[in-house]
Amino acid sequence: MAKKKTDPFFSNEKILDIIRTYSNDTVYFKDVHSRFIWNTRSHAAQFGISDPREMVGKTDADFFPKDFAARARKEELEIMDSRTPLISNTERLEKPDGSVVWYSASKYPLLNEKDEVIGTWGISRNITALKIVEEELSRTNEKLRRLSQVDDLTGLFNRRYFYEMIEKTASQYDRRSSGKKDDDPKNTFCLISLDIDFFKKINDDYGHNKGDDVLRLVAGILTSQCRKSDMVFRIGGDEFMMLLPDTPLKGAKVKAERVRSALSSSPIVLDETSDAIRLTASMGISCYRDCKDVADLIHTADERLYTSKNLGRDRAT
């Protein structure tokens, strides 16, 4: 009885030739010295090579930057030693022209019929387009996050973010206070509540657009008086809050006086026919160490602000 001929479509050579010719993913095999022994056309095409057989006997060092090739060799040595594959590893390749290409790569140990490790093989996919989309999405999300925290008019942090940050700050000091001395300035933080004096009159006399100019000016002055760790918030209208980490009451009083002086020395012209207006503010200061909780801290600062108003404004209490 004649032997049935094997369909050549299912021969190993034919299957490998189909993969080599038509696979969009890069597939390659390497020996124990990380020299290529088989590659797909898509792999060779990355380097401007039309026939993948030209890559046989060469290594990553012949095609990739030195650091990239060294990293690949180290990975392959570990794979051969442990027989453990490296799955879906994200690789970043910077080309000589400065452009960046991203790959999702998986590498496996290459075994012979005796179950001996004779090299490695791998498959990778160019995910540069996906990374560009991910990075753009990340930037968009960061922009949206930032917008959710910032007051459009002044560029300061907004009311919503104020409550988030003061709760977060208080919890940090609650954890930090254990074992620290009461007189340690890093054991507490302070809050300054601030209103612009006679702001309603400014709006009434000059219009809301000029009032907005005043708010922006005040925001800039408050920011200029801050350390990197301090935070300034516009709560609404002409009400501002300054959050001062690692600051005792004495330090907050010094800060408030600097703010008062900076406002007083920064007059603003709102009408060409009128003289410049000297800005003042009423402030209230509270210290977390002296308060029961965050609500008490905010309430105390606000109460002291109104005390400043009742005492004649242009002061901090």
**CATH code of the domain in which 287 resides:** 3.30.70.270
- Predicted local distance difference test score (pLDDT) of residue 15: 86
Q: Within 10 A of 203 (CB to CB), how many other CB atoms are there? A: 17
Measured distance CA(155)–CA(68) in Å, rounded: 43
Distance CA 21, CA 14 (A): 10
CA–CA–CA angle 159, 293, 282 (5° rounding) = 50
Query: Same domain for 164 and 295?
Result: yes
pLDDT band (50, 70, 90) for residue 6: low
* Closest to 192 (Cα-Cα) out of 251, 243, 233, 228: 243
Residues 210 and 312 in one domain: yes
Residues 116 and 181 in one domain: no
Looking at the domain assignment, is residue 221 inside a domain? yes
Mean pLDDT of 50-56: 92
Among the ranges 86-100, 163-177, 188-202, which has the highest mean pLDDT value? Answer: 188-202
62 plus 161 within the same structural domain: no
Q: What is the pLDDT of residue 203?
A: 92
Per-residue DSSP letter, 6: P
DSSP state of 7: P
Q: State the chain's mean pLDDT as an integer.
A: 89
Residues 161 and 119 occupy one common structural domain: no
Q: How far separated are the first and last CA of the chain, in Å rounded?
A: 110
DSSP 231: E
1 within a domain of the structure (yes/no): no
Q: How confident is the model at residue 40 (pLDDT cuts 50, 70, 90)?
A: very high
Residue 288 structure tokens: 């977390």
The CATH number of residue 79's host domain is 3.30.450.20
Strand pairing of 315-316 and 281-287?
A: parallel
- pLDDT of 10 higher than 80: no
**Average pLDDT, integer, range 224-233:** 94
**Cα angle: 167, vertex 295, 300; to 5 degrees:** 120
Collapsed DSSP state (helix, strand, coil) of residue 317: coil
Distance, CA of 127 to chain centre: 22
Report pLDDT for 92.
87
Q: Which of 182-186, 226-230, 295-299 has the lowest mean pLDDT?
A: 182-186
Residue 124 in contact with residue 45, Cβ under 8 Å?
no
For 111-154, how does the pLDDT look when each residue is reduced to its tens digit (9 = 90+)? 999 999 999 999 999 899 999 998 888 888 887 777 788 998 99
Q: Which residue has the higher pLDDT, 16 or 183?
A: 16
Mean local confidence (pLDDT), 182-204: 87
Centre a 10 Å sphere on the Cβ of residue 199 and count the other Cβ atoms it contains.
Answer: 18
pLDDT for residue 80 is more than 90: yes
As a dihedral over the C-alpha atoms of residue 296, residue 301, residue 306, residue 308, rounded to 10 degrees, the angle is 140
**Is 137 inside a domain boundary?**
no
- Least Cα distance to 315 among 243, 238, 263 occurs for 263
Q: Which of 132, 160, 194 is the last residue of a domain?
A: 132
Rg, Å, the chain Cα set: 34
220: Cβ contacts below 8 Å, ≥ 6 apart: none
Q: Are residues 181 and 274 in the same domain?
A: yes
Residue 285 falls within a domain, yes or no? yes
Domain boundary among 132, 166, 187: 132
Mean pLDDT of 220-241: 95
272-281 contact pairs (CB < 8 A, 24+): 277/202, 279/196, 279/197, 279/214, 279/217, 279/218, 280/196, 280/197, 280/313, 280/314, 281/194, 281/195, 281/196, 281/197, 281/218, 281/313, 281/314
Q: Is the pLDDT of residue 5 over 60?
A: no
Q: What is the pLDDT of residue 276?
A: 86
pLDDT: which is higher, 69 or 178:
69
The answer to whether residues 63 and 155 belong to one domain is: no
Residue ranges in the chain assigned as alpha helix (H): 12-22, 41-45, 66-82, 128-149, 159-176, 199-206, 208-224, 249-264, 294-310
Give domain status of residue 87, yes or no: yes
> Cα(213)–Cα(76) distance, rounded to whole angstroms?
63
162 and 291: one domain? Answer: yes
Please indicate, yes or no, whether residues 35 and 168 belong to a single structural domain of this protein: no
Q: What is the DSSP letter of 289?
A: G
Tell whether 167 and 308 lie within a shared domain. Answer: yes
Output the pLDDT for position 180: 52
145 inside domain = no
| pLDDT at residue number 85 | 95
**Which residue, of 100, 132, 164, is where some domain finishes?**
132
Its domain, for residue 225, covers: 150-316
138 part of a folded domain? no
Above 90 in pLDDT, residue 14? no
What percent of the chain clears pLDDT 70, i.e. is strictly above it? Answer: 94
Reported as a single tens digit per residue, the pLDDT across 264-288 is: 898 898 887 778 889 999 999 999 9
Confidence at residue 285, expressed as pLDDT on a 0 to 100 scale: 97
Q: Are residues 155 and 116 in the same domain?
A: no
How many domains is the chain built from?
A: 2
- What is the C-alpha to C-alpha distance for residues 135 and 245, in angstroms, rounded to an integer? 33
303 and 155 co-located in one domain: yes
Whole-number Å distance between alpha carbons of 304 and 317 = 5
**15 located within any domain:** yes
Residue 13: predicted pLDDT = 83
